Structure 1
Amino acid sequence: MTVVGPNGLGYVNVPRSLSLMMSSGYDRRAGGISAVSYSGGMLLGVSRAVWAYDGVGINLIVSAGNEAVTHLADYVDFLAGDPATTSIGLIIDKTRNWPATNSPFVVSSGMATHCT
């Protein structure tokens, strides 16, 4: 069985009200944004910031941890094929096995942000 992590905060599927994340509850609005981060804290910050904008919501958020089993490429590959995901946000410090995708996504790495 493939799992998320270890060393991450978990996974949230907002439309299904499924939260497998080790954090306190907060309001989430369903929408098309999916995000993956190595840092659970940064991911929670982004998802809380989304709440501030009416009409913007989250589909899936994943705290990837240290990628012992699943990798960033696995998540991006899945999200690129997910019809409920309209954009992908990544908060990362490294990449390996980068997938080829035509889906729009934003990558934040340190102080630089890259959009495709």
Structure 2
Amino acid sequence: RNAHFEERLFEVSTCSQRVWDLLSWVKPRRMTSSAGMRRADDSVITMDTDLAEEFDRTFHKAADRPCDLSIVDELPSDPARDWPPFSALELTDALATCSPKSAPGPDHLTWKM
């Protein structure tokens, strides 16, 4: 076992130069099937758009309830920080380096969703 891991560490350190390649959470994730997911009325969700709508209904149930934001006014303000301007092309280039099949976190939602 030690020989296997030593070989793997050597391979990563000499070929890709990225230790993160050894971790599974940086690799693309397989999209989970929504076939087994059901709505509250027990109907089966079959389309990604239906899945997104069901998530929206589930996690935004309180969206239409009134909310008193006056407590925010009582919080101390931090001084404004400079934000260097960036173009849409720079943002697109930065997002292009991200995996299209996974997103960070345990939710397994893709960038498309």
Q: Which has the larger radius of gyration?
A: 2
TM-score tier after normalising by the smaller chain length? under 0.3
Normalised by the length of structure 2, the TM-score is 0.18
Normalised by the length of structure 1, the TM-score is 0.18
The answer to which structure has the higher helix fraction is: 2
The answer to which structure has the higher strand fraction is: 1
